């Protein structure tokens, strides 16, 4: 019973991270333009038009975050989560995450997540696209373990999918935070401090920490991302057309 209550509270905690996502008016920390090739990244045909112009990752990429003088290496998976991974790598390449804080860190009553990527620093911000002047939000994207393609827009419980996702919430998972609307993730991400399998099928995992987890374990609320850099796989960043 206690475990169920904890899981429910943790879900609410992440859901509340962008409660004001529909009314964001802030500007990103940094803006930039990127020359990208175009491909559909195995996106379902019905989503190509709604997501036209969005970044996607047609493969994998490696990103280094520098926090407290130490590097955290992330392997970003665009094979199983092309839209979510592409959104993140695009923001890294723009310099968006540089100097942003980890505004939520939860270790009690047990290790949970560190969460950052909010330009407002209070859990309500997202990325404002400099071209459209609107917040870029992406659909929930989760690939079933035995599926050939990710499913979009609804959680596994909503879709009555009983199998596990391909990318699970293991310790060191990199995933997107969102509001109660499944299709509201923008720039806020979290890294799990422990296995949190009760989040599987509800939030989009798109990569894992491959080096520097000891640095993640030491992150405190208010610590800043000194820099975020794509060190490998930038050529896999494309746009949906």
What pLDDT shows up at residue 36? 52
* Predicted local distance difference test score (pLDDT) of residue 147: 83
pLDDT at 225: 98
More confidently predicted of 177 and 29: 177
pLDDT of residue 37: 53
Coil/strand/helix, residue 216:
helix
For the chain, domain boundaries: 2-239
Fold classified for 2-239: Cyclophilin (2.40.100)
Tokens, residue 184: 């509201």
Asked, as a colleague might, if the bond just before 109 is cis with ω within 30 of 0, I would say yes
Say how far apart CA 131 and CA 134 lie, in whole Å.
8
Q: Which helix (H) or strand (E) holds 43?
A: none
Q: How far apart are CA 10 and CA 52, in angstroms?
A: 33
pLDDT value for 72: 98
């Amino acid at each position: 019973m206690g475990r169920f209550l904890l899981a429910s509270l943790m879900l609410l905690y992440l859901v509340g991270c962008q409660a004001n996502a529909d009314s964001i008016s802030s500007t990103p920390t940094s803006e930039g333009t990127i020359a990208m090739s175009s491909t559909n990244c195995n996106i379902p045909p019905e989503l190509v038009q709604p997501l036209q112009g969005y970044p996607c990752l047609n493969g994998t990429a490696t990103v280094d975050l520098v926090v407290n003088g130490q590097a955290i290496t992330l392997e970003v998976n665009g094979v199983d989560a092309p839209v979510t991974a592409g959104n993140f790598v695009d923001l890294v390449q723009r310099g968006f995450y540089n100097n942003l804080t980890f505004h939520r860190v939860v270790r009690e009553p047990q290790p949970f997540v560190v969460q950052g990527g909010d330009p407002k620093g209070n859990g309500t911000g997202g990325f404002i696209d400099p071209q459209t002047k609107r917040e870029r939000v992406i659909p929930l994207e989760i690939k079933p373990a035995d599926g050939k393609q990710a499913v979009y827009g609804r959680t596994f419980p909503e879709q009555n999918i009983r199998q596990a996702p391909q990318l699970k919430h293991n310790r060191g998972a990199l995933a997107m935070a969102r509001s109660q609307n499944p299709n509201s993730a923008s720039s806020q991400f979290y890294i799990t401090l422990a296995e949190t399998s009760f989040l599987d099928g509800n939030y989009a995992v798109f990569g894992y920490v491959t080096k520097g987890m000891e640095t993640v374990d030491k992150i405190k609320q208010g610590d800043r991302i000194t820099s975020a850099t794509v060190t490998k796989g930038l050529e896999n960043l494309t746009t949906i057309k």
